[in-house]
Structure 1
Amino acid sequence: MLKLDGIHTFYGSIHALKGVSLEVNQGEIVTLIGANGAGKSTTLMTLCGVIRPKQGTVTFNGQDITRVSTEKIVKLGVTQVPEGRMIFPRLTVIENLRMGAYLRRDPDGVKADEEKVFGLFPRLKERRGQYGGTLSGGEQQMLAIGRAIMARPSLLLLDEPSLGLAPIVVENIFDVIVNINKAGTTVLLVEQNAQMALHIAHRGYVLTTGEVHLTGTSKELLENPQVRAAYLGLE
């Protein structure tokens, strides 16, 4: 479904991605793990058109989208849940969700998907009329994921969904990610909580200073001594 081939991305003179190549097959959960500054978020921003690579190609469902606008990439079926949630604080929960469907022209389908989101996150249904800025961090993350679902993506990009959340909320969020995937949405997950990410993913890539350092199945990475020592806190 998705292929990055030899991606080089710069922030000014800073060489952020140095030849990153990766693939995501339809139906998979693939995770990118690595330390702060490894290039994980930059990879997502590059593939969804926010940042243009200086070299390399991004292909989605066989189409070269390297120079395609972010709006058109969303229309093709790629939606991102950004780091830090980025919900609209002065809009209500239901208004935030409808912003995720702003490109759609099927009101009955939008209404059905609202109920789908409320089924995944019952707490949002309880707070449907509440302003986004008054929600807890966990509820805002639920809202950010729900808003992305409203676009009906075939590929969902998640950037650090566990950041700053209590462990019990993290477990809930990751359970929902698995359910979204089982319902047919492919997922590319950027996550510092390597243990949780690798336990739900099919495959993973380890980024180190802008380069793919390791790749393999989740089982292989969980058993890899380098990964265990550097990212799982295990000997």
Structure 2
Amino acid sequence: MLLDVRDLDVYYGAIHALQGISFHMEPGEIVTLIGANGAGKSTTLRTISGLIRPRRGTVTFKSQEISRTAAERIVRLGINHVPEGRKIFAPLTVLENLEMGAYTRDDPAEIRQSMERVFQTFPRLKERLTQLGGTLSGGEQQMLAIGRAMMAKPSLLLLDEPSMGLAPVVVEKIAEIIQEINATGTSILLVEQNAHMALTIAHRGYVMETGRIVLEGSADKLLHDPQVRQAYLGG
């Protein structure tokens, strides 16, 4: 098992944001968390990546318990988080943003290999190497955010709302890219309000409502589940 989340309770002050959630991932999977705004999806990713400490429960990655581990250490263990809203470094160039993604690594040859892999995945970034991140389009910024995460060579990539605010044609491209990255061996935990896109590319999924997991199954099963279709897929 790659990732095992058990009985996770997270609070924001008095607000009980995650209420005993449990789920797991196997190596090589794309797993998606779907649900409405406020369901706890982003909080789950932030807890796994060490940005939030749970009050109760465990997060185990490659058999190592990490729920009290510092975020920087979690990156070094092989988990990288692409946050909602992309959070690129707007005043830095595309190249500088990508180099920031490799800050935990010290082998120049391996870093160059990762850079080439990013350029193969995102040829447009290579064309814009000297352009400031803040001047890129929304789709290009999302590509840069994912590319920056790839520079850390993660075995688990946490993607938070990668399709948010993007045109449908760009959403399709991002979906293809997620599958391409997964095909090279990177496992992906995908948080997405675009449930149709998420369930089309994922292997398995979990449906979250108000801090709880209320449904789980293969992506195909959830895609055709009447409850899911009614609530998240427009009937």
Same fold (TM over 0.5): yes
Structure 2, unaligned runs of 5 or more:
none
The 5 A counterparts of 1:1-235 are 1-234=2-235
CA distance in 1, matches of 2:52, 2:72: 13
Q: Residues of 2 paired with 1:60 and 1:145: CA distance?
A: 21
Structure 2 residue matching 1:51: 3-state secondary structure:
coil
| C-alpha separation in 2, matches of 1:47 and 1:114 | 26
| Per-residue deviation, 1:20 | 0.6
Gaps of 5+ in 1: none
Q: In structure 2, how many angstroms separate the alpha carbons of the residues matched to 1:220 and 1:62? A: 29
Deviation at 1:109, TM superposition (A): 1.1
The CA RMSD over aligned residues, in Å, is: 0.5
Code of the aligned partner of 1:71 = E
C-alpha deviation, 1:122, in angstroms = 1.1
Deviation at 1:60, TM superposition (A): 0.4
Distance apart, 1:70 and its partner CA: 0.5
Q: Alpha-carbon deviations, 1:90-126, whole Å to 9, x = none?
A: 1100100000001101111111211111111111111
Number of matched pairs: 234
**Take 1:184 and 1:71, find their aligned partners in 2: how far apart are those partners?**
22
Q: 1:150-205 CA distances to partner (integer Å, 9 max, x unpaired)?
A: 00000000000000000111111110100100000000000000000000000000
Percent of aligned pairs with the same amino acid: 64
Task: Show CA shifts across 1:50-97 (max 9, x none).
Answer: 111001010000011010110111100000000000000111001000
Return structure 1 stretches of 4+ with deviation > 4 angstroms: none
TM-score, normalised by the number of residues in structure 1: 0.99
Classify the secondary structure of the residue corresponding to 1:88.
Answer: coil
